[in-house]
Structure 1
Amino acid sequence: MSDNEKRRGRTWSAFTRRLLVAATMVGGGLIFVLNGPPSAAQETRPVPMALHDIAPTDGRQTAVFAGGCFWGVQAVFQHVAGVASVTSGYAGGSAATATYEKTETGATGHAEAVEITFDPKQVSYGKLLEIYFSVAHDPTQLGGQGPDSGPQYRSAIFPRDEKQAKVATDYIAQLDASGVFSRPIATTIEDGKTFYPAEAYHQDYVYNNPGQPYVVIYEKPKIGALHRLFPGLYRQKPVLVSDSAS
């Protein structure tokens, strides 16, 4: 079984799998004979600026977010100015279960997550939260994201310190009070959890597989939404894991 088949075969709905099988290349363009389910085109919307934020300091900081499949979340933040690196991985469970095969059982406590290293003088933690809640995923969806179901696809923030926990907690309350979303925020804040990098084939996945149907349907639109809603922070060339490794 290929990595792609392993990665999505057990979590996609039967409808979504049939949809992707029905995709065919015609005249160099990807044509779908059926429209995707409603969750395929995630609705994006502007969100209010965070009222509370962390004052910028010298040196780089890290943030860890989970929002469904880490391919798309990684790709979004790779296009944010001020971000130095974004690594896909696992957070919420133990080192012994921080693998794809074990995490996909949904029984490890892990969520697919990304670790973002950023310069707080260029982009603040509060601004990263705004991007996370508006374009990276649907923070109101319980039990998964889009076609992917299970606790490993939950919406969660893993603060690195008390300041991040406070800013994230305050921002969730601010968003709920604002009414910008029609449903309550489902994002959990999980303190004291270690981040573990994922396998190499998951890194830079959107960049390396631009024509893969799942990427085209679910992940690439998020990058377009970032460009539209945060034009001042968008950068065309993504910062890739492979670049830092070379």
Structure 2
Amino acid sequence: MKTPFTLRRIVLQLAAAGFIGQCSVAAFAAEDAVRLAPPAIDEITQAHSETAVFAGGCFWGVQGVFEHVKGVKQAVSGYAGGAADTAQYERVSEGDTGHAESVEVTFDPAQVSYGTLLQIYFSVAHNPTELNRQGPDRGTQYRSALFTKSSEQQRVAQAYIAQLDAAHSFNKPIVTKLESFNGFYPAEQEHQDFLTRHPMHPYIVINDLPKVAQLKQLYPDRYQDEPVLVKAAM
């Protein structure tokens, strides 16, 4: 098996060895979030619980953001888009499995709608204009994708992307793919709640803690201080 080549892996190794300091890694810093208008079209449902799958680069940060959103019951890091037998971190990191690092969010639609989750996803959780990359990470496994689980989610997501592009919300077109949901596979335990468990990890400090801070600043009414952790639900 070839060794997976990702900038994230290199940055982590160099930082852990003391070869990279704060100034040296400035190029890898998280980008500023963009405050977005809410979706003009949102999901209508009577369900008390629903799930949605989001892919937007490294799942550590995406999970960390959604764990701080009011109405989210659980956010699990994992893999979507590929087959069950390739849903392992080292294998997915090779970039040829069809999987994307993803987060499955279980939420209460009475407290937070699918459309609001999309607003946070496009605004804070990642940059939807980056094709097959996020920050220091490169490859299709880090693509921006929504694995819609119903025709209603598909309808709301398509409408919101069109709305954001029409409003020129970003300086480049949105490249987020709408992909059919064909299964979600939870990641290894070491990747669950990573942001909360390792807040001083160089990658988290540089790339992901700013996202949580931006969530609190831009959407204070949606933010909760205490994260909903996977480990606590087990």
TM-score interval, smaller chain: over 0.9
Aligned match of 1:112:
101
Aligned match of 2:165:
176
Report if the CA contact (8 A) 2:61-2:125 is conserved.
yes
What are the equivalent positions in structure 2 for 1:91-110 lying under 5 Å apart? 91-110=80-99
Deviation, structure 1 residue 117: 0.2
Structure 1 stretches (4+) deviating beyond 3 angstroms? 13-19, 21-24
Distance change (3 Å), C-alpha of 1:13 and 1:216: closer
Secondary structure, aligned partner of 1:54: coil
1:59 is aligned to 2:48: yes
What CA distance in whole angstroms lies between the structure 1 residues aligned with 2:184 and 2:136? 24
Name the aligned partner's letter for residue 191 of structure 1.
Answer: S
Q: Any gaps of 5 or more consecutive residues in structure 1?
A: 1-5, 25-31
Q: Any gaps of 5 or more consecutive residues in structure 2?
A: none
Q: Give the one of 11, 17, 20 matched to 2:6.
A: 11
What are the equivalent positions in structure 2 for 1:216-231 lying under 5 Å apart? 216-231=205-220
What CA distance in whole angstroms lies between the structure 2 residues aligned with 1:23 and 1:107? 29
Given the two structures, how large is their TM-score scaled by the length of structure 1? 0.89
Aligned match of 1:136:
125
Count of residue correspondences: 230
What CA distance in whole angstroms lies between the structure 2 residues aligned with 1:97 and 1:118? 27
What CA distance in whole angstroms lies between the structure 2 residues aligned with 1:82 and 1:234? 10
What CA distance in whole angstroms lies between the structure 2 residues aligned with 1:205 and 1:113? 14
What CA distance in whole angstroms lies between the structure 1 residues aligned with 2:94 and 2:219? 35
Distance change (3 Å), C-alpha of 1:14 and 1:62: closer
Q: Deviations over 1:142-198 (max 9, x none)?
A: 121100000000000000100001100111111111111000001000013211100
1:154 is aligned to 2:143: yes
Given the two structures, how large is their TM-score scaled by the length of structure 2? 0.93
Report if the CA contact (8 A) 1:155-1:188 is conserved.
yes
